Structure 1
Amino acid sequence: MTAARPDSALPISEQIVLITGGGRGLGARLVAAFADQGARVVINYRSSAKAAQQLADRYGADRALAVAADVTDTAAVATLFDTAATHFGGPVTTVVNNALPDFSFNGDARASADELTWAELDQQLRGILGGALNTIQAALPGMRAAGHGRIINVGTNLFQNPVVPYHDYTAAKAALLSLTRTMSADLGPDGIAVNMVSGGLLRTTDASAATPDAVFDAIAQATPLRSVTTPEEFADAVLFFASPWSRAVTGQNLVVDGGLVKD
């Protein structure tokens, strides 16, 4: 593998990138964005085996690898990183924490303040925060050896603008932002940057496929750009944090929602 630059900024084409939850939805778009830039991509999935393998087959074995692992399982995550390093001949240098535990984005069916349980909060915290912790810790030895690391966490604009109070999901994403900032301070001396990219409703992913056009239109009219962010536009921002252009940026949360909310 090519040695890291003195400023610890590798071109995307020289990176080995892990996308958690990469088999479908936004994750699949992120996989495509990195692969199109020449990166070697590890497509992590939990249950979307067919979709993940089809995505890997599109780019070929020298560019993409689909690997099953539940990110909440520490041992499974360790195996995931070992498998990736063996396949590509080097450590994962960029991690995009995109995976979610099972969750229904249904505002009518959400748990209200009176109904919310600790079990619901715990499920989201384990999946979002615990999963990210597992992947970060598994990535550190390889990133330190490479002298380069990029950790990019996928957040949400709901904790700035809780138009639908998904208490459990939003609380876990807010905790992930805190982890982003504390990890950035801890890992900066190792040449490892940790950032977050937060979107709102994207047009269109699996999670937003049932959203009525009227809702999309209302959101578009509320943004300065008069548009709803697409998965492709969101992926562009993730690419920025992985690229040398962001080499002096860490501990940040970039909201990518057409200017709807301000961080």
Structure 2
Amino acid sequence: MKKILLASILAMSTQFAFAETKTDAVDPEFAKVEAMVKAKDMNGAYQTLSKLAAKGNAQAIYNLGYLTQTGQGVAKDEKKAIQLYEQAAAKGYPVANYVLGKNYATGTLGLKQDTNKAKQYLERASSAGFDDASIDYAILLFAENKPESDKLALSKLDPLIKKGNYPAIHAKALYDISAGFKAKNEKPIQQGLNSIQELAKKGYVPALMAVGNMFVNGNIIPQNLPEAKKIFSALAKENIPQAKESLATVDKMIAEQAKAPKANAKKS
């Protein structure tokens, strides 16, 4: 269950994106960059960001990394992108620390998977108030399966849950279910299940996926492949990649179950 929890949360996070400035205090130079990006002038954006980065601007350095990673306005170069992210992270830019933490956690962008480094970067971003980092950091702590790690993880999630943060609520719900199974205690399992069902009712995609998977597995709630198919079909129409894969699996299971009675009838 711990591994399932870790994988499901890490997979839910959105793709990293170009970091825009806050509207209440937009640097005129960044306003120009944002206008260029909206106008699809990525070469101009890259050149302007390069000038800002040369002055040590951490946000500019991060955005150069993103453009380099994605090959916009410059040749795609993941190794150089990592170097730029590291420069921005060293200057305390939260998004850069988050990106590095995520990629070390999943072993992507040319980096070797390293949970310790992932936690270090995510903790820095979390301490700087980056909510997504707090959630992913908590997930890695839960995966350690240690009381002290669980306690720290819960302390990271608690203020976000109080703010109604869906990913944090979902992470805590999965933890409750996992802890309930481990302790053979029905109360936290039901508590976690109720939270996930409430999020699903609100249309939160990871919670809908979780409910669908529960219907498929039949470990927490009775197996119901038709209901799982309804959920995955709806999400597949919204172009959720994981839903399409799950739908294909459910269709295969339904087909196999349909063959089973016929096979048994022939034997009898």
Same fold (TM over 0.5): no
The two structures have a TM-score, normalised by structure 2, of 0.29
Q: Whose strand proportion is higher, 1 or 2? A: 1
The one of the two structures with greater contact order (alpha-carbon pairs below 8 A, sep at least 6) is: 1
Larger Rg: 2
TM-score by length of 1: 0.29
